[in-house]
Structure 1
Amino acid sequence: MKAFSSSILAAFSLARTAFSLATYSAVSGGPSFSVGLPLDSTISSTSAGTVYFSLQAPSTYQWVGLGIGSQMSGATIFVMYSDGNGNVTISPRDGKGHVQPDFNSTRMSGVTLLEGSGISGGMMTANVKCTTCQLDSTSTSTQSPWIAAWRSSGSAIDSTSESYSIQQHDYGSTRQFTFDLTTASIPSDSNPFISSTGSSNSGGASGSSSAAPTASSNSGGVSSGSSSEIPPEILNNFMRIPNYQKAHGVIMGLTVALLFPLGALAMRVVGSPVLHSLIQIISTCTLIAGFGLGVKLAQMTDLLYKSPGRAHTIFGTLITVLFLLQPLGGLLHHRLYLQTGGRTPVSHLHIWLGRAALICGIINGGLGLKLSQNTTGGEIAFGVVAGVMMLVYALSVLLKRKGARGQKARGEKTRRAGKWEREERMIERDAGSSRSRR
């Protein structure tokens, strides 16, 4: 009888474990997350499999995200926001660093929004089943890394588009934490968030969970595993990214689209080598400052010579090198001009290299605006300034060439007129000499 009772207790304990969910609450009264793995799931860090998870947050939040991984770069991220019809949209995305994650249509094929999802009672909930997901750990890890972020300010998104462009999360609204997946077992491959065992259909942990939540010392919530905020030094770097983006974009935009063209016009229109040199020296200094900010920004976002920032960063580096070669070319051009009194091959190389660098710089500015997902107003402003300056420069080149051709034509006409006058005088002299001999 004693042995039989022990068996019953053991079976009951096992049943409780099988129905448990790992839970994490980021902030008191804020977002909460739950995860469960079917016993027969093949999910791991190397193979896709089934995982159930739930995101829940006040309906006043603009969006909430849950990610599989220890950091944004390389993470599998799921973003929840209102769809405008009383339900929610769940969007699977790939983390690329500290930029907006990209929608993954392939992963979406294995994502299902389950019963119990929606907006009700001031809360929005996404109960999700994913069969195309992989973990960043084994399925039995007691410290499986996950991340979370959210934006509590702003109006509701109200979109059914899974690729909707979201705004950056609020300051301090990010978390790195771990789930103890040994407490995240569910007995069958079915929705665990509306089970008859007492689990909540709002995305909370199952009422029969055997996982005892532990207080999170620095997140203000509870979790079935260990949890923490992002370390202050990492968070500070992360929150400085918008400032670096603005500084880099403004400095490089003004340098390439305004200052360098003005320097070229100073020589082309005003004809002042001193003014030309002064403006180009200032432009080169601002270029170096902007380039330094860009390199630091790319390092902070893990985009330096890496996708999706590969094109912008590589192109930007090459263009910067071209601009840095220009002062040397300018000095050689000036020195040879004084010696020869005209342009030399170095002169033409200097001029055309500068023009090529300007055009490439403007193109790369467009790539940077696209990468940073700048506002339409910012893109228009950059395009207008760059377009106007290029038009003015092109007109100055055409007008000066036309003036040079006219001057050359006038010189040729004068030369011919002088030649005719000399010939007429010689004829008159010869005629006078003939008359005097007679």
Structure 2
Amino acid sequence: MGRSPYSILTALLAASVYMVLGQVVTFSPSTGINYAINIPSDTASKGSGTVYFQIQAPSTFQWIGLGQGSRMEGANIFIMYAASDSNITLSPRSGLGSFEPNFNPSAKVSLLDGTGISNNVMTANVRCDSCISWSGGSMDVKSTSSSWIWAYKSGSAVDSSSVSADLTQHDDKGAVTVDLTKATGGSSSDPFVTQSNSGSSINNGNTSTSNGNGSTNGNSTGSTSGSSSSSSSTSSTYTTSGVTVADSGQSGFNRRRTAHGLIMAFVFLILFPGGALTRHLIRSPKTIPYIHAPFQLFTLAAAVAGLGLGVSLALDIGEIYAYHPVIGLTTVSALIAFQPLLGVLQHLNYRKNGTKSPSAYAHRWLGRILMVLGIINGGLGFMFSGIGTPGVPTAAVIAYGVIAGFMGIAYILTLLLSATRLKSPLNTSTPNGCLTENAAEHSLVPAERSISKDGK
């Protein structure tokens, strides 16, 4: 059965519109942050050529990044940050793994009309002529599951036109896969320019391109006039379909960071001090072998778990040699290497001689020093992550300080009261007159006086 001339005309018209209008896939991993990708029809048919993408976010973000690849290592990354009150810088970079990506001088990108800062929104409309293949990988423009990564950092503006500006670690990151067949279509030289977006601006034509030499017409800084476009027409069809979340970021990096902070805070603020005080609060020959030692071993295991999360986070952001991870590794490693051993040596000495050995002093004071160091490092951890940034609320820092102060006072008062009680020889013996291990560790009474009433 033949098709009517009307249906054929309709099909041809639809095809022609599809060829002219851009087909754009968008996704928004966080409030206010939007990414958009377009593969022109000509690029899709040839398997090479130009790719368009857009990065948009409120100016309250310090930087926003979009990258091609499933992870940072080998990724083709593009980072947007403010160059001034009205201009942005787009910095093409090469992913190096768990380190800050370096500027990529081989990138061929151009900033298009609509790029700039307007109404407190940063926008980068980008033409990329080096996004099909790069030194670390390549992209199949017909892929239904193309890998992309994203990241952002909140904070004060970078205010730099340098494409090699030093950037601080991200607050959050994630990954998505994009069905590029849903982003294919159009022959526009700028599929984003006439879309009505709050904060989009129209460029006055003074747009720089990147050929890698960093000079004028050879950098990635777009200079815009700052005039806003309020056009309601659009040259593209926008869709959010075809995007699959591979790593939501919040359920990954931020949740691991939160878990790390909670575990280590509980360990050093509550568990270690509480375990240390059990031998002062519970007067029994069985306190140390049956309460103190098992409790502290459990706490040490929790510290190791928290340390593991911390190490994975530090490796992710390339900061394993920073002050916070180094202090944490040193503290927990010393706890593992020395505290159980010194405790066992003192316990064996007590069972043999009924006295306090040098290992008792070492166990006690090393434990106190490492406990205080761990608490201090917790505070440094808040600074390291950025107080007030997402995942590190100021209220949490205040609560940490209050609990640390309260536990410190309670710990010192308990030690003072315990020392007062132990000054009397009558308070250092069990019902049959023998010293408990707790008392033997603290008593100033010579061991030869710690005998039973029958003189044995």
- TM-score under structure 1 normalisation? 0.52
Q: Give 1:259 shift.
A: 2.1
Partner residue of 1:229 out of 244, 253, 258: 244
The 3 A distance-change label for structure 1 pair 268 and 106 is: farther
1:147 is aligned to 148
Give, in whole Å, the separation in 1 of the partners of 2:287 and 2:121. 64
Give, in whole Å, the separation in 1 of the partners of 2:65 and 2:57. 13
Are 1:262 and 2:262 counterparts? no
Verify the 8 A CA contact 1:366 1:379 in the aligned structure 2: yes
1:307 is aligned to 318
Give, in whole Å, the separation in 2 of the partners of 1:350 and 1:76. 52
Q: Give 1:126 shift.
A: 1.0
Are 1:33 and 2:37 counterparts? yes
2:7 is aligned to none
Q: Give 1:356 shift.
A: 3.9
1:200 is aligned to 190
- Aligned counterparts, 1:64-143, within 5 A: 65-73=65-73, 75=75, 77-80=77-80, 85-88=85-88, 90=90, 114=111, 116=113, 117-119=115-117, 125-127=123-125, 135-137=135-137
Give, in whole Å, the separation in 2 of the partners of 1:379 and 1:298. 21
Give, in whole Å, the separation in 2 of the partners of 1:387 and 1:315. 21
Verify the 8 A CA contact 1:262 1:279 in the aligned structure 2: no
Q: Give 1:147 shift.
A: 1.7
2:335 is aligned to 323
Verify the 8 A CA contact 2:268 2:375 in the aligned structure 1: yes
The 3 A distance-change label for structure 1 pair 288 and 368 is: farther
The 3 A distance-change label for structure 1 pair 331 and 81 is: same
Q: Give 1:344 shift.
A: 1.0
Give, in whole Å, the separation in 2 of the partners of 1:264 and 1:367. 24
Give SS of 2:356's match: coil
Are 1:251 and 2:263 counterparts? yes
2:16 is aligned to none
Q: Give 1:200 shift.
A: 2.4
1:239 is aligned to 251
AA aligned to 1:382 is Y
AA aligned to 2:25 is S
The 3 A distance-change label for structure 1 pair 202 and 292 is: same
The 3 A distance-change label for structure 1 pair 291 and 156 is: closer
The 3 A distance-change label for structure 1 pair 140 and 342 is: closer
AA aligned to 1:254 is F
Give SS of 1:307's match: coil
Give SS of 2:315's match: coil
For each residue in 1:289-340, what CA deviation from the matched residue of structure 2 results, as whole angstroms up to 9, or x when unmatched?
45335535755x5828x83235666764564454345345324313423543
Q: Give 1:250 shift.
A: 1.4
For each residue in 1:80-124, what CA deviation from the matched residue of structure 2 results, as whole angstroms up to 9, or x when unmatched?
467894554646677687xxx97668669x999846212569985
Corresponding pairs, count: 336
AA aligned to 1:55 is Q
Give SS of 1:303's match: helix
Are 1:382 and 2:381 counterparts? no
The 3 A distance-change label for structure 1 pair 287 and 241 is: farther
Of stretches 244-253 and 360-369 in structure 1, the one that deviates more from structure 2 is 360-369
Give, in whole Å, the separation in 2 of the partners of 1:245 and 1:96. 22
The 3 A distance-change label for structure 1 pair 319 and 150 is: closer
Work out the percentage of aligned pairs sharing the same amino acid: 28
Give, in whole Å, the separation in 2 of the partners of 1:30 and 1:326. 51
AA aligned to 1:295 is G
Verify the 8 A CA contact 1:146 1:178 in the aligned structure 2: no
AA aligned to 2:37 is F
Verify the 8 A CA contact 1:260 1:279 in the aligned structure 2: no
Give, in whole Å, the separation in 1 of the partners of 2:84 and 2:315. 34
For each residue in 1:149-195, what CA deviation from the matched residue of structure 2 results, as whole angstroms up to 9, or x when unmatched?
478xxx998774774776536xxx74235989xx9xxxxxxxxxxxx
AA aligned to 1:323 is L
Aligned-residue CA RMSD (Å): 6.0
2:294 is aligned to 281
2:217 is aligned to none
Verify the 8 A CA contact 1:69 1:135 in the aligned structure 2: no
Give, in whole Å, the separation in 2 of the partners of 1:130 and 1:379. 43
Q: Give 1:404 shift.
A: 9.2
Of stretches 378-387 and 395-404 in structure 1, the one that deviates more from structure 2 is 395-404
Gapped regions of structure 1 (runs ≥ 5) = 1-19, 37-50, 184-196, 206-214, 222-226, 412-438
AA aligned to 2:176 is R
Verify the 8 A CA contact 1:248 1:290 in the aligned structure 2: no
Larger radius of gyration: 1
- TM-score under structure 2 normalisation? 0.50
